[in-house]
A and B are shown apart, each in its own frame.
Chain A
Amino acid sequence: MIARAPRNLSALLVLGIPLLWIVVFMLLPYGIIVTYSFWLKSYPTFKPAFQFGNYLTLLTDVQYLQVLGRTLKISILVSILSLGLAYPFAWWLVFRCRSQALRTWAYMAVIAPLWVSYLLRAYIWKTILGTEGILNSFLMSTGLISEPSSLFLYNQFAMVVTLTYIFIPFMVMPIYTALERIPLNLAEASADLGMGPVQTFLKVTLPLSTPGIAAGFTLTFCLSFGDFIAPFLVGGPDGNLIASVIQTQFGAALNWPLGSALSIVMLIIVLAIVSLSDRLEATAHTGAA
């Protein structure tokens, strides 16, 4: 009896702390947001109610679907671009880079920017892409263009470039980890069985790295999807993203119910992507087994 009390206590601590964490920092805030999303806007603030008007507004007022569509487009572009750049890079690091020191340095070169302030990194792209920026000066000095172009900054292109740069480490890390786990003898076995390098890549390496791709895609997509700094700094008049709209609803419009409904819709989209990616990873694992 005396010996059991401390054990109960430690069990309580072990389970209790994470449980308390989940309740206080996840369930409670989400619960509040869900509740607000059914409330009614009423000058000067809003009043408790249970109605689906806010969700209806999101579906019927074309401005919200427009912004949602644009945000999806930008996030998918960022994820695809990141994948296109990150995969060959990670593959080269794992399978072709002979020097351990070079590998460490190259890997750190991608990861290191994560320690620099996000805001600073986004801001730097303004000075690169601007009309009198570094890119324009370079292109003019090479003679490719005769006068500065305003096509690089304050548009969707600038947002995709900036977001790709900022979130690409989240694509490199899981892919690198996935590739590193693939035993080298699998490729040798594949070669022994008469497969060429391309076939080996398509039939062995790529399927085995799918979990890394799925994880990287999910991370970059979700991070871009919720971003509102890039549109603010490098986006143009056509660069409004969903997170900025939510911010406006909680700030300028003082319409917390509508902002909450938007947040819930966003949460559902993100959760759908995450569970899809989970399923993909699970299939990849069973496929491998």
Chain B
Amino acid sequence: MKKTLTAMLTLGLAAGPALAEGTVNVLTWEGYADPSFITKFEEESGCKVSATYVGSNDDFAPKLLGGGGIYDLITPSIDTTALMIDLGLVEPLDTAAITGWNDIYPKFLSQEGIQRDGAYYGMPYVWGAIAFMYLDSAFPTPPTSIADLWNPELKGKISLWDDKSSIYVAARKNGDMDIYNLTDEQIEKAKAALVEQKPLVRKYWATAGELVDLYKAGEVVISNTWAGYQSGLLKAEGVKVTEFIPKEGAEGWMDSWMVVKDTPNKECAYKFLNMQLSELGQCGVANVNGYSVANAAAAKACMPAEQYAALHQDDPNYLDSLQVWQALGDRFEAYTNAWNAVKAQ
């Protein structure tokens, strides 16, 4: 389904302006190259945008390693950006050529994952929380803790993201709060907790659409989620769900645009970066995906007050309360291996 959708969207975009002067090929998340704002960019810049969508951060490296030269721009999350630099897949940014660079929240510009040897490799774009979500009708008393995903009374009604993030969730439930520096022993404990939870799980969700389907079909009532996105889709379908940040806290994520090494379409790529950081791109993506954006000034200028508040753009404490994803480096394997072992059981 996803592939068909992607192909259709790519075709839709490819059928854009006929008088294109250049092209820019982006490998990104759904919504980040949505026609609602990309069409305007194509008309103004003369650059044709061709978008391919990923379902996971794990798709970037294999797609670029397995015969590159196709994509000009990518948008990995902050736990994957360092890997892109380590693999030599991306090049340093000319930040002087990006208008609005200094309006980006300092918290994002200070992230280590997008820098190397004094140069920036990633342009912060959007951010959000890995919040939790429940079906209103199933909870007379709203859940407040991660432990609610381990409640035997909800057997067969629980879903969890099929990602190494589940290790972070289980670790916090165990009281291990330094989730990006877990010891082998702590990972083992998290694994045990996930194995214990497994009989209660209906399905591990892999894509946004899948989680929406699970709620819509009445299969699950509680899960984690990409804050703003799936709940927005569900509300549009008339399914009443509520997001919450459990007392054990939540992970935060931030996606950055990176320029693929030696791209031949540099001119269009930088036009595209400028657009994405401008009001057009920032409010464009916020309206499509319901994510918070990285450019403080643009957000203030183009968002209605209500949306500005709902997306926590004015709330630095909210951002600080999130444990922003970090690159796991050589510990990456220990985390993914533990999660694979849980799934194998």
Residues of A within 8 A of B (CB): 41, 43-45, 61, 63-64, 66-67, 119, 123, 126, 130-133, 148, 150, 153-154, 232, 236-238, 240, 245, 248, 250-255
Contact = CB atoms under 8 A, between A and B. Distances in A.
Given A131-B218, A237-B203, A255-B333, A66 B345 contact: yes
B10 interface: no
Given A43-B86, A43-B329, A63-B340, A238 B59 contact: no
B333 A251 contact: no
Given A44-B83, A252-B56, 14 more contacts: A43-B329, A43-B332, A61-B341, A63-B340, A66-B345, A150-B202, A236-B201, A237-B199, A237-B202, A238-B198, A245-B340, A245-B344, A252-B58, A254-B61
A251 B58 contact: yes
A106 B58 CA distance: 45
Interface in B182-202: 198-199, 201-202
Contacts of A44: 83, 86-87
Interface string B326-345: 00011011001100110111
Contact of B336 (A64, A67, A253): A253
Contact of B156 (A150, A251, A254): A150
User: Interface of chain A, helix or strand or loop or mixed?
Assistant: loop
Given A150-B156, A150-B219, A251-B62, A43 B336 contact: no
Contacts of B87: 44-45
B1 interface: yes
Contacts, number: 81
Interface string B225-236: 000000000000
8 interchain residue pairs of minimum CB distance: A63-B344, A252-B58, A44-B86, A237-B201, A251-B58, A63-B341, A43-B330, A240-B343
Contacts of B83: 44
A13 B333 CA distance: 49
Given A45-B87, A252-B58, A131 B217 contact: yes
A255 B65 CA distance: 13
A237 B202 CA distance: 7
A130 B217 contact: yes
Nearest to A44: B86
A252 B219 contact: no
Interface in B6-21: none
B333 A237 contact: no
Contacts of B201: 236-237
B120 interface: no
Contacts of A248: 336, 340
Nearest to A232: B206
B333 A66 contact: no
Interface in B231-250: none
B138 to A, nearest CB: 13
Nearest to A70: B344
A154 B219 contact: yes
Contacts of A148: 218
11 contacts: A43-B330, A44-B87, A63-B341, A63-B345, A126-B217, A130-B219, A150-B156, A232-B206, A237-B202, A252-B56, A253-B336
